[in-house]
Structure 1
Amino acid sequence: MAGLPHDAADLTALGREWISAWNSHDLERVLAMYAEDSEMTSDRIPALGFEASGTLRGKDSLRAYWGLALQRLPGLRFELIDTFVSPDSVIVLYQNDRGARICEYLRVNDEGKIRQGSANHLVH
């Protein structure tokens, strides 16, 4: 059972820090925001040769996937557009350096660490 709701200001700050961490290209800074047993889902995961289901589990899997992604995208940069919060999650709407708009859904655990993430890409 989930704990008490998280403060909206804290979740908004988490979304802003998430953008800042990615823009730093410091993989360990990004991973520090995630729980050890976190899950990440994205259609980009199989495209890079990882899990065919599109979902990775655990920090070690995230480290391998994001490490490769950062190597392949040295100019990666995110521009925050907006954040949306619920009692246990934040959605980060941003634009990447290639002009694509993306919504990142980030659900947090009782300690405020990201336990579930999902990258949602606009389909034209």
Structure 2
Amino acid sequence: MSKLHPPSTLAALGRTWVEAWNARDLERVLTLYDDATVMTSDRIPGLGFDASGTVRGKESLRAYWRKALGLIPNLHFTLIDVYVSPDSLVVFYENERGKKICEYLRVNDAGLIVQGSANHLPQ
């Protein structure tokens, strides 16, 4: 069984995640992730990455996000809420275009993100 994380720790991780993105500090964001992390988003194929919508590993994630950041110079997330479970959190936020997004983030025993999934409203 994996380690249970206190809700306050996971909520703080969600706030830190938003702050790092708003600072446009990709390396700061990546410090929150495990080297073997897996990220899924319907935006991944559109940027020329894996057609399955999944990138695997921190280096692939770095390449994907570096490209995405280059295309969104005014990126900004406004935190709406953070939801927690013993091993995951959902960051509910609004982006710079007014779109509401839920980011599911599962953490390992060390508190690093090992799985992420960006969830957007259907178009």
TM-score (norm 2): 0.98
Post-superposition offset of 1:8: 0.2
Of all paired residues, the percent bearing the same amino acid is 62
Aligned residue in 1 for 2:100: 101
Give how far 1:4 is off. Answer: 2.3
Secondary structure of 2:97's counterpart equals coil
Q: SS of the residue aligned with 2:9?
A: helix
CA apart distance, 1:111:
0.1
> Equivalents in 2 of 1:11, 1:30: separation in Å?
15
**Where in structure 2 are the equivalents of 1:1-124 lying within 5 Å?**
2-124=1-123
Q: 1:65, CA displacement in angstroms?
A: 0.2
Write out per-residue CA displacement over residues 40-85 of structure 1, whole angstroms, 9 at most, x where no aligned residue: 0000000101000001000010000000001110100000000100
Distance in 2 (CA, whole Å) between partners of 1:113 and 1:70 is 22
Letter in 2 for 1:42: S
Q: Following the alignment from structure 2 to structure 1, what is the Cα–Cα distance between the partners of residues 107 and 52? A: 22
Inter-partner Cα distance in structure 1 for 2:69 and 2:34: 20
Q: Aligned to 2:10, what secondary structure does the other structure show?
A: helix
Q: What SS class does the counterpart of residue 111 from structure 2 fall into? A: coil
How far apart are residue 3 of structure 1 and its match? 2.4
Unaligned runs of 5+ in 2: none
Question: Residues 13-55 of structure 1: CA distance to partner in whole angstroms, max 9, x if unpaired?
Answer: 0000000000010110000000000000000000101000001
Shift of 1:123: 1.4
Q: Which runs of 4+ in 1 moved over 3 A?
A: none
Report the AA paired with residue 18 of structure 2.
I
**RMSD after superposition:** 0.7
